[in-house]
Chains A and B, each alone.
Chain A
């Protein structure tokens, strides 16, 4: 009797516990069950997902590509850069270059407005340029405007001038190619409002209350944020090219492994592309989902293995380059979602020089190693950063490739900060790194400058850098092609980096949203969300 009473008490207790266990779920369970997946989104909200949080709303104070997603939504830029190397008007309708290529004149739209209704003028561009380059501000991104006259000479010294309300001219230190400037220097130049920030002393600019709720001239107007989880926007009511019908735009941080789940159950509508794409293991399943549109977009982002030129001779580096079976990585590891990389310029780029290709030739590699008297007992250090599973697996394949020709290696993995520190210090033989790349062939040139901190391969010779740098200071396609052809030939000859692959962006969005087309352009830090529409 007593035992049965105890059992009854226990049962009641368990019942109470079960109720409390699912208390949260039960109250919400009904609407969630009653509503099929897409209904989780309200009719006029678009949710975009990226895989890591932003760090700042201050455009000149970050170098994070996650922050760039946010900044591109809030602030306008001069041009919409495309992955094929062309560009479309955005805040600037056109750019003129004077005869000797020393002055760039941007013509701005006359109907562009800040989200508070004030017009965007040439003075805003001048103000922004001075803010980026002010020694008092000492911004992280100040070097973006380093090619312009007056740079580093004091606050307001940069030679940028408002010709009239909608025309602004930048004067260069020396003749420079406009494509080079647009893709390398203006890519993350976000225009800021002088009327809201102009009165803040430069020394206090970072702590201005403006950054808590910025008013930009981009397509989205900031509403609220949950730090590290989401930012909510409404449309900028004055955005000049708004074609979308959304009323709310939510940018969310979602781990890579949850992206497909989020798309399938309607929590998110679209991925951010280069900073939010599906993992390979989810790709087949994603393509089988009826409510998803999947596209594998070619990317200009590439992975490479920096080789310490102070440890290995050019001949040995060439042997390493020959020993790498890139096709095996593409077919086996990337499941065909990528192309082999022999240099920083993608094979479909108009500046690509096929002479850079080093076919897989293990016999050739062995012959060189024998000729060079390679010691098969020597073990080389392969430094691999964590955080990119495909790259970590590629390192294992390359380790095997090198072992096949008689080069022993030891893989050392570390988190990215540790790895970068080692590679910059030259404490390695092979260092794995990735780059977001660029349609412009000049993107990687700086890494071959022996004086630059990203001289990962510890070069002491300026030849590759100077050859590549020429391409930024000549003006016809033919002249640039000649410069970059030679640059690519030199990369093959000296092999400071052994390039591995360009990996496709595995993109998906729900059928609920239309107008998402040029995913490959996302690597250029622009997303045309103003064209995205919700289909009811």
Chain B
């Protein structure tokens, strides 16, 4: 197992470098420069702009800028934001918590809802359960985040007024945990909807397939409790593709968080990324890329490790 982890980590290094090269050069290839956005004020002139270009190092060739950035990265320094002048690491660190909050909550919520529904759907195909969960699955998978967000805001925030429409806390008083959870509900729900839809379908298909296998029939013939057959034998053996799906949800969740955070003014990495792209704030774009890339690579590694626990046939050491 140790060797496997080491091997995966070694594979992750060129992947990581590839991601940074791609994002860095693509950002620079995009038309528009951070200077254009910094100097919206008509009192500035070309000389002030040139001075700033030199100060930010933007007058250097792109590959020099990249290697300088990599050099900083090795020293644990992500540089300074062009837009705010603040250290990128500080900006990213401030935003990482809120993004993790809604993405992890959404992941947990999706799993808790989708897997039981998918299992029940597969256990009793074409029953009321199945129609209910399949319907939910289709609606979930077909509903874009922004649309679901608008509907929830209208219904639950404006009409019924039980959840706030934006932000992390009420303006009132201390920032309590309950207040935070209250504000998390709508963004988490919105972020979960599509994932729930696709995960129900994945679980249903996977469990349905396993339920046809001989060993299930054997287990039943031996008089195993039906709950044991379903949850111990069938579910466990059908989890591998489900886990793969959950693993692939991580980047989707981060991507979905961009829209959701914008919609609910949730101060996470997604909204910072949009702001940084719009202002061509390259150091912040790169900083967020690093964090997301590392998170996804680690997430994939964890998923791979879970495989081995679920399915001992997978021998990673070989």
Chain A residues at the B interface, C-beta cutoff of 8 Å = 2-3, 5-6, 9-10, 13-14, 17, 20-25, 27-29, 32-33, 37, 40-42, 45, 47, 52-53, 55-56, 58, 61, 63-64, 138, 140-144, 146, 184-185, 206, 226-230, 232, 248, 250, 252-255, 257-258, 261-262, 264-265, 267-268, 414-422, 424, 443, 446-447, 451-454
Q: Which residue of A lies closest to B129 (CB)?
A: A10
CB contact between B163 and one of A23, A25, A229 (< 8 Å): that residue: A25
For A24, A42, A255, which residue has the most chain B Cβ atoms within 10 angstroms?
Answer: A24
Interface contacts (Cβ under 8 Å), in number, total 217
Q: Which residue of A lies closest to B120 (CB)?
A: A10
CB contacts (< 8 Å) of A230 on chain B: these are: 167-169, 171
CB contacts (< 8 Å) of A454 on chain B: these are: 42
17 additional contacts (CB under 8 A) given A22-B185, A142-B48: A2-B225, A10-B129, A21-B112, A25-B162, A27-B181, A58-B85, A63-B40, A138-B48, A140-B38, A140-B41, A248-B171, A255-B166, A261-B158, A265-B157, A267-B167, A415-B278, A443-B42
On whether the beta carbons of A421 and B171 are closer than 8 Å, the reply is no
Q: Which residue of A lies closest to B280 (CB)?
A: A417
Alpha-carbon separation in the docked complex, A64 to B81 (Å): 15
Contact flag A61-B172 (CB < 8 Å), given A17-B113, A24-B181 = no
Residue B209 lies at the interface, judged by CB distance under 8 Å to chain A: no
CB contact between B36 and one of A17, A40, A267, A420 (< 8 Å): that residue: A420
CB contacts (< 8 Å) of A252 on chain B: these are: 166-167, 171, 265
Residue B65 lies at the interface, judged by CB distance under 8 Å to chain A: no
On whether the beta carbons of A141 and B158 are closer than 8 Å, the reply is no
Q: Which residue of A lies closest to B31 (CB)?
A: A418
Alpha-carbon separation in the docked complex, A418 to B27 (Å): 12
CB contact between A28 and one of B84, B85, B179 (< 8 Å): that residue: B179
On whether the beta carbons of B172 and A5 are closer than 8 Å, the reply is no
Residue B313 lies at the interface, judged by CB distance under 8 Å to chain A: no
CB contact between A32 and one of B51, B85, B182 (< 8 Å): that residue: B182
Chain B residues at the A interface, C-beta cutoff of 8 Å = 30-33, 36-46, 48-49, 51-52, 55, 83-86, 91, 94-95, 109, 112-113, 116-117, 119-120, 123, 129, 150, 153-154, 157-158, 161-173, 178-179, 181-182, 184-185, 188, 225-227, 230, 262-267, 271-272, 275, 277-280
Alpha-carbon separation in the docked complex, A525 to B97 (Å): 33
CB contacts (< 8 Å) of B37 on chain A: these are: 416-417, 420
Q: SS class of chain B's interface: helix, strand, loop or mixed? A: helix
For A28, A33, A255, which residue has the most chain B Cβ atoms within 10 angstroms?
Answer: A28
CB contact between B153 and one of A140, A258, A446, A452 (< 8 Å): that residue: A258
For A33, A47, A417, A446, which residue has the most chain B Cβ atoms within 10 angstroms?
Answer: A417
CB contacts (< 8 Å) of B181 on chain A: these are: 23-25, 27-28
Min C-beta distance of A71 to chain B, whole Å: 13
On whether the beta carbons of A184 and B43 are closer than 8 Å, the reply is yes
Contact flag A20-B227 (CB < 8 Å), given A61-B85, A206-B85, A254-B265 = no
Alpha-carbon separation in the docked complex, A45 to B164 (Å): 17
Alpha-carbon separation in the docked complex, A420 to B39 (Å): 11
Alpha-carbon separation in the docked complex, A519 to B282 (Å): 36
Q: Which residue of A lies closest to B263 (CB)?
A: A255
On whether the beta carbons of A5 and B167 are closer than 8 Å, the reply is no
CB contact between B168 and one of A23, A53, A64, A229 (< 8 Å): that residue: A229
CB contacts (< 8 Å) of B182 on chain A: these are: 24-25, 27-28, 32
On whether the beta carbons of A9 and B42 are closer than 8 Å, the reply is no
Min C-beta distance of B101 to chain A, whole Å: 11
Contact flag A144-B43 (CB < 8 Å), given A2-B226, A261-B157, A421-B33 = yes
Min C-beta distance of B28 to chain A, whole Å: 12
Alpha-carbon separation in the docked complex, A206 to B39 (Å): 18
Q: Which residue of B lies closest to A29 (CB)?
A: B162
CB contacts (< 8 Å) of B157 on chain A: these are: 261, 265
CB contacts (< 8 Å) of B172 on chain A: these are: 40-42, 45
CB contacts (< 8 Å) of B46 on chain A: these are: 451-453
10 smallest CB-CB distances across A and B, nearest first, come from: A417-B32, A28-B182, A2-B226, A24-B181, A229-B267, A63-B41, A42-B172, A228-B267, A261-B165, A250-B171
CB contacts (< 8 Å) of A143 on chain B: these are: 43-45, 48
On whether the beta carbons of B41 and A257 are closer than 8 Å, the reply is no
Min C-beta distance of A134 to chain B, whole Å: 12
On whether the beta carbons of B91 and A63 are closer than 8 Å, the reply is no
CB contacts (< 8 Å) of B262 on chain A: these are: 255
Q: Which residue of A lies closest to B84 (CB)?
A: A55
Alpha-carbon separation in the docked complex, A33 to B156 (Å): 11
CB contacts (< 8 Å) of A47 on chain B: these are: 171
Q: Which residue of A lies closest to B156 (CB)?
A: A25
Min C-beta distance of B116 to chain A, whole Å: 5
CB contacts (< 8 Å) of A422 on chain B: these are: 31
